Amino acid sequence: MKVTKLALLVGLTAAIPSLSHADTLQDVMEKDVLNCGVSTGIPGFSAADSKGVWKGIDVDMCRSVASAVLGDASKVKYIPLTAKERFTALQSGEIDLLARSSTWTATRDTSLGLNFAGVNYYDGQGFLISKKLGVTSAKELDGATFCIQAGTTSELNLTDYFKSNGMEYKAVTYDTSGQTIDGFKKGRCDAVTSDASQLYGLKLKMDDPNTVMVLPEIISKEPLGPVVRQGDDNWFNVVRWSLFAALEAEELGVTSSNAEAMMKSENPSIKRLLGTTGNAGENLGLKSDWAYQIVKQVGNYSEMFDKNVGKDSPLNIDRGLNKLWNQGGLMYAMPIR
Amino acid sequence: MNNKQLPIDGKGFLNNPQHRAVFFQIIALIAVIFCAFYFANNMFDNIEKRGITTGFSFLDNTAGFGISQTLTNYDDGTSTYFDVFIVGLLNTLLVSILGIIFASILGLLVGIGRLSNNFLISKLSLIYIETFRNIPILLQILFWYNVVLAALPSPRQSMNYLDSVFLNNRGLLIPEPIFESGSSAILISFIIAVAAVFYLTRWSRKRHDKTGEEFPLIKVSLAILILAPTLVYFIVGQPISAVYPELKGFNFRGGLAIIPELLALLFALSIYTATYIAEAVRAGIEAVPKGQKEAAKALGLKDHVILSKVVLPQALRVIIPPVINQFLNLTKNSSLATAIGYPELVTLFSGTTLNQVGQAIEIILMTMAVYLTISIVISLLLNWVNAKMAIKGR
């Protein structure tokens, strides 16, 4: 009798299918919450404010996907991750989506088993230095010590830049961006190097932001975007088109305040975007108003940009490369049709 | 209803208690193996589904990032991830070995001080032990790191000793010795001197056992150890020169730099672990019967001779086993350095490398294997010492 029970137990265990996350879209719908990996605090990208509310352009990426999939931008569980934890968290299925100012590189896109769904911010690596060093160009930084966050592309770019310019440097690597700026404040290093957008945020964390400056040189290309696991094409499509929808909305002049009125628009492109005609939502496995929910609850791309990093934020970063393609930038949404 | 009675003499296989015990152990073993196999299989299945690269071939790839402290010839442009692994391993070993040395010395002194008849010394030792033993090690590491960084001046205002040793918030800079041809002769002469001292010690002990005559061993040994290499140094034409640190631009160039992360970590680990060692030393000394001390005193031995020849040799038998644990703890605690950016194994290999390569399983396995190996080596070594120290049956 005992043996039979044991055999039954073994049989049951063997019958359990292997635990994998093949259908993230369905998982998210069943859980009714999106697990989104964000940073431990990069102002403008993902940072919790004094009330514990997450804000930033990456946070808006999470909220867009939650709006499209669950119809509610607030159904997001934010999981703060350090740079070196982020990809493992995504690989292991702890998070459904990684929106943590991650640079799209060949290694990450291939051997890590991940897919970048697009670019939500075109960035480049820069240097933040103390004004009293009297340096005006990165070329004068020979022999300087840098504070860097561990596990970033910044670590690799720094080596490339100094090697190719025949200069020497020393690197002190910290776990979080908080520790990095702390090391800089205490004088452990002469400069901080990171994505330029983050440097503007870090500058605000200084006791007196006027004592430091961001050098004009940009030493690398840093296309930042949302990341999903490889091998789940449906979920990949949902994230990619959530990003495109926000860009398309900006191009078509649909904003969070006029989205409702735009539902009655006769413009066929707007009709397809907001789901009054066509079946883009259905093909993605979502409701027909998926893009409407994104624009209504989160806003179009320019609203996200201005509110978090652009002219309406303390960072006040110029849109530069992040302008729409028809305004001289690189942001280009594939047509919804 | 069938009321057939069970046979009392139990000829069945499972009715034999011995067979039954073996049977259930085999069942349990099979269950454990099955579970392990199931999870491993599941893991490989998922890794393959997601297209994550596996294997150890990444170790040959170029790492391409800078490291603040390297004991090998690490070059951030050409060195591989395997070199990063070695750099991390050596940095871990460096801080562990130095930490063990400092913690042992400090622990021994404080442990003896705790038992001192001097009120001030014993109470200060007590306060030291109770304070540092009861604060989490991570907090202490962060505390010392902030103290080191806050207390030290910037490179341009360095504290300067004789224009050759500098202390600032980039670390402690000392002249770097450069060994030219002929310096191997000095090393050889030093090794010969060590061997000579070794034999001298044995000879003097034998003579002491035979005749009771004291030989000024320490003075003569020191003279041999210092004089022989110095003499050779001048004979072969002073082949060792030094590169002095020099302030150029932002930082000092040349010389050896001891980074503040290492100083802070070493400080925190030594001070923390020393409290436990001190308690072990106190316990060991208190375990030596009072009569031993009194008997030694009655023979007219001096206090320091009683401590070094009578009390400590007996106390060591009690002290060594708990101290082994503390050495292991210190080594494992060194991985907390990741909080202050000291480039040891966990920071470099299962931190930066893991993030650049993304192969969590291989990298974490390698890191765990390293700590396991270090721990086993330390405990084997000290178990051997322990066995040597044990009371031999006569």
Q: Tell me the pLDDT tens digit for each residue of B181-194.
A: 777 888 888 899 89
Report the residue from A20, A83, A84 with minimal CB separation from B46: A20
Nearest-Cα residue of chain B relative to residue A169: B66
pTM: 0.81
Nearest-Cα residue of chain B relative to residue A21: B46
Q: Which of B25, B35, B46, B258 to mutate to test the interface with A (most CBs of A within 10 A)?
A: B46
Query: For A181-194, what is each residue's pLDDT tens digit?
Result: 888 988 889 999 99
Across the interface, whether the CB atoms of B154 and A187 are under 8 A apart is answered yes
Q: Where are the domains of chain B?
A: 81-175+244-389, 179-239
Question: Is residue A306's pLDDT more than 90?
Answer: yes
Q: Are A193 and A148 in contact (CB under 8 A)?
A: yes
Cα A250 to Cα A45, A243, A299, B206, distances in angstroms: 19, 11, 9, 94
With contacts defined as CB-CB under 8 Å, which chain A residues touch B77? 159, 163
Residue-level pLDDT at B147: 86
**DSSP string of B83-151?**
HHHHHHHHHHHHHHHHHHHHHHHHHHHHHHHHT-S-HHHHHHHHHHHHHHHTS-HHHHHHHHHHHHHHH
Measured between CA atoms, how close is A203 to chain B, in angstroms? 20
Nearest-Cα residue of chain A relative to residue B151: A186
Chain centroid to Cα A250, Å, comes to 19
Residue-level pLDDT at A3: 47
Residue (of A68, A69, A25, A18) closest to A228 by Cα position: A25
Tell me the C-alpha distance between B171 and B256, whole Å.
10
Residue-level pLDDT at B183: 75
Return the number of other C-beta atoms located less than 10 Å from residue B394's C-beta. Answer: 3
Q: What are phi and psi of B212, to 5 degrees?
A: 80, 5
Nearest-Cα residue of chain A relative to residue B338: A175
Residue-level pLDDT at B142: 92
Report the residue from B41, B250, B341 with minimal CB separation from A173: B341
Return the number of other C-beta atoms located less than 10 Å from residue A334's C-beta. Answer: 11
Measured between CA atoms, how close is A302 to chain B, in angstroms? 32
Domain B81-175+244-389 CATH superfamily = MetI-like (1.10.3720.10)
Question: Is residue A160's pLDDT more than 50?
Answer: yes
Across the interface, whether the CB atoms of A111 and B31 are under 8 A apart is answered no
Report the residue from B67, B249, B340 with minimal CB separation from A143: B249
Percentage of residues of chain A with pLDDT beyond 70: 93
Q: Higher-confidence residue: A14 or A110? A: A110
Q: What are phi and psi of A292, to 5 degrees?
A: -60, -45
Across the interface, whether the CB atoms of A18 and B50 are under 8 A apart is answered no
Nearest-Cα residue of chain B relative to residue A228: B50
Report the residue from A22, A87, A133 with minimal CB separation from B355: A87
Chain centroid to Cα A254, Å, comes to 23
What residue ranges define each of the domains in chain A, with the CATH number in brackets?
24-122+223-314 (3.40.190.10), 125-220 (3.40.190.10)
Q: What are phi and psi of A212, to 5 degrees?
A: -120, 160
Nearest-Cα residue of chain B relative to residue A155: B65
Nearest-Cα residue of chain B relative to residue A111: B53
Report the residue from B34, B51, B76 with minimal CB separation from A113: B51
Q: Which of A108, A145, A184, A232 to mutate to test the interface with B (most CBs of B within 10 A)?
A: A145
Tell me the C-alpha distance between A279 and A337, whole Å.
8
Residues in chain A: 337
Q: Tokens representing B290?
A: 């009072």
**DSSP string of B140-184?**
HHHHHHHHHHHHSPPGGG-EEETTTEEEETTEEEEPEEEE-TTHH
Q: Tokens representing A216?
A: 């004009």
Residue-level pLDDT at B365: 92
Across the interface, whether the CB atoms of A186 and B351 are under 8 A apart is answered no
With contacts defined as CB-CB under 8 Å, which chain A residues touch B253? 143
Q: Are B257 and B173 in contact (CB under 8 A)?
A: yes
Question: Is residue A1's pLDDT more than 50?
Answer: no
Q: What are phi and psi of A125, to 5 degrees?
A: -85, 135
Q: Are A38 and A89 in contact (CB under 8 A)?
A: no
Distance, first Cα to last Cα, chain A: 64
Report the residue from A146, A151, A170 with minimal CB separation from B355: A151
With contacts defined as CB-CB under 8 Å, which chain A residues touch B351? 84, 150-151, 175
Query: For A216-229, what is each residue's pLDDT tens digit?
Result: 889 999 999 999 99
Q: Tokens representing B3?
A: 């009321």
Measured between CA atoms, how close is A70 to chain B, in angstroms? 25
Across the interface, whether the CB atoms of B249 and A186 are under 8 A apart is answered no
Residue-level pLDDT at A283: 92
Measured between CA atoms, how close is B353 to chain A, in angstroms? 7
Residue-level pLDDT at B393: 58
Residue-level pLDDT at A21: 47
Question: Is residue A300's pLDDT more than 90?
Answer: yes
Report the residue from A13, A88, A179 with minimal CB separation from B38: A13
Measured between CA atoms, how close is A167 to chain B, in angstroms? 12
Measured between CA atoms, how close is A64 to chain B, in angstroms? 25
Q: Per-residue confidence of chain B (394 residues) as pLDDT tens digits?
A: 555 555 555 567 777 888 888 888 999 999 999 999 999 888 888 888 777 778 888 899 888 888 888 888 888 778 899 999 999 999 999 999 999 999 999 999 999 999 888 999 999 999 999 999 999 999 999 999 988 888 888 887 888 887 778 888 888 888 887 777 777 888 888 899 899 989 988 888 888 888 877 778 888 888 888 888 888 888 877 777 777 887 777 777 777 888 899 999 999 999 999 999 999 999 999 999 989 989 999 999 988 888 888 888 888 888 888 998 899 999 999 999 988 989 999 989 988 888 888 888 889 999 999 999 998 998 898 888 888 877 765 5
Tell me the C-alpha distance between B277 and B356, whole Å.
39
Nearest-Cα residue of chain B relative to residue A132: B250
Q: Tokens representing A168?
A: 């020497």
Question: Is residue A5's pLDDT more than 90?
Answer: no
